[in-house]
Amino acid sequence: MTQAQPESPTPSPASKPFSPVLLRWAGYGLLVLTTLDLFTILFPPRFTNPIWEFETMGAIVERVPVPLLAAALIFFGEMQFRSKWERPVLKFLSWVSMLFGIFLLLLVPLGVTNTLRLNSQSMDLISNQFSQQLEQVAAFEKQINDASAEQIKGFLESQGVTLEGDAARAPKEQMLSQLSQFKERMQEQVEIEKASRRNRLMESSAKWNLSALISGFLFIYIWHLTRWARSAKKKRSKASKTQPAA
């Protein structure tokens, strides 16, 4: 006679599989860490400060992938193998997803406005610095115009500067010509600095505003997909009414 093989024990239907529970707890952990991180970013607030608002927007948008991943892990598996305390939490997080998505969408017009304000402030700052330097050059140019050629030559020789050729015959004209070239180089550097700052600002603005727009729609779509979390109790009550008595 062949010996009967012992039957393998069947898992209890009430036992929870390890993998979904682990993923969900990882999602809860990421969500808590993100909340703490956002709290440190937003406080202390400095509203009406365009620099703070723009940099805060960028900091929030840069961290959006973490709560997106947390939402995916938390809502994984819908209502299967859930504890009772999770049901109101899931409903609450579903609504939070929509509110956070709207918040991200509202950041877009704020980001565009702050981009324009910061660009204007940056251009004004560079122009003011250039004007101050230009005034100093103009004052020095006036001193040269008021001085005679012999005075200029004597001053340069006292500083150890030896003039030769055309420069020795007309030191005043040579210095004025060099000052004119210096002002032209200053103007070129100002335009380069303006273009560089404008490009960096526009690149950051385009990246953050586009990311906020996409992320906002994603969180609203999560709210749409998790309507089962907001109506799970009603579905269970209906199912219990339609279930025939044993």
Mean pLDDT calculated for residue range 167-188: 79
pLDDT tens for 65-85 read 999 999 999 999 888 888 899
pLDDT tens for 82-139 read 889 999 999 999 999 999 999 999 999 999 999 999 999 999 999 999 999 999 988 8
Report whether pLDDT(241) > 60.
no
Domains of the chain with bracketed CATH: 18-233 (1.20.1230)
Q: Which residue has the higher pLDDT, 165 or 202?
A: 202
Average pLDDT, the chain: 84
Provide the pLDDT confidence category of residue 163 given band limits of 50, 70 and 90: low
pLDDT tens for 2-42 read 444 444 444 444 555 567 889 999 999 999 999 999 999 99
Mean pLDDT calculated for residue range 220-239: 76
* pLDDT score recorded for residue 142: 86
For helices 50-62 and 18-42, what crossing angle results, to 10°?
170
pLDDT tens for 44-73 read 999 999 999 999 999 999 999 999 999 999
> Long-range pairs for 165-172 at CB < 8 Å and ≥24 separation?
172/144, 172/145, 172/147, 172/148
